[in-house]
Amino acid sequence: MDGQPWFVGKDVADILNYRNTRDALKKHVDEEDKADVAIHDGSQNRNMTVINESGLYSLILSSKLPQAKKFKRWVTSEVLPSIRRHGAYITGETLEKMLQSSEFTSELLNKLLAEREENTVLREHIEALAPKARYYDLILQSKNAVQVSVIAKDYGMTAVSFNRLLHDLGIQFKLGGTWLLYQGLAGKGYTCSRTYHVNEERSVMHTYWTQAGRLFLYKTLKENGIIPLMEDFNAAGL
């Protein structure tokens, strides 16, 4: 808690041979060195008193256990440094095993290192996915169909070059000045058309990309190594 190591008071008191653990915590540990927290024991949450490093020393110094000094030395030289390095939470049972077996201690620390490494990989994976999630959110937030120029801008391209790219990828073809989807993609709701009347004799039809169409484009372009600027900047550390 608060970036500092805390111990379950009852576990420490038991190890130090206090007969009445509750009384020991009350008599020997100052109020500012202990706190009541809910700890999950595998089946339910239980309210327990935890003590900080100062509270731990208070219990050790007040103990009549002959090995108390040795215990203190072990805690300060091995346990606390490992907690600060690896962020371990040590239960009473684990603490006893560590006292009794150096092999167990080594195995535990190796496991902590592996978990720390796994967490680092996971965090890096999440950070890598973040720009993708943000771009997806950007698309999902826009319910309206948009012109190709809007999407092209996301990729740092002009509408002309973007339309040509989609043609090269086998997505669309041009007919009478209008870009249309190839037969295999038509009817999937990726695009919609709007007709604008220039004058009484002339009208122009424009193709708009729907939300589903934008997601389709994102996936297809990504598969071809083309990503939006939002992701490209993040990958470059900009």
Q: Which pLDDT score is estimated for 55?
A: 84
The per-residue pLDDT for 191 is: 92
Who's near 123: CB < 8 A, 6+ residues apart?
Answer: none
Name the residue ranges covered by the structural domains of the chain: 7-100, 133-235
What's the pTM?
A: 0.43
Q: What's the token pair of residue 186?
A: 């038509």
131-178 residue pLDDT tens? 555 666 677 677 788 999 999 999 999 999 999 999 999 999 998 888
Q: What is the pLDDT of residue 238?
A: 44
CA nearest neighbour of 231 among 88, 131, 81, 158: 131
What's the confidence (pLDDT) of residue 99?
61
pLDDT along the chain (238 residues), means of 10: 74 84 89 82 75 84 74 70 58 62 66 61 52 63 85 93 96 89 91 78 81 90 89 55
Q: What is the pLDDT of residue 209?
A: 92
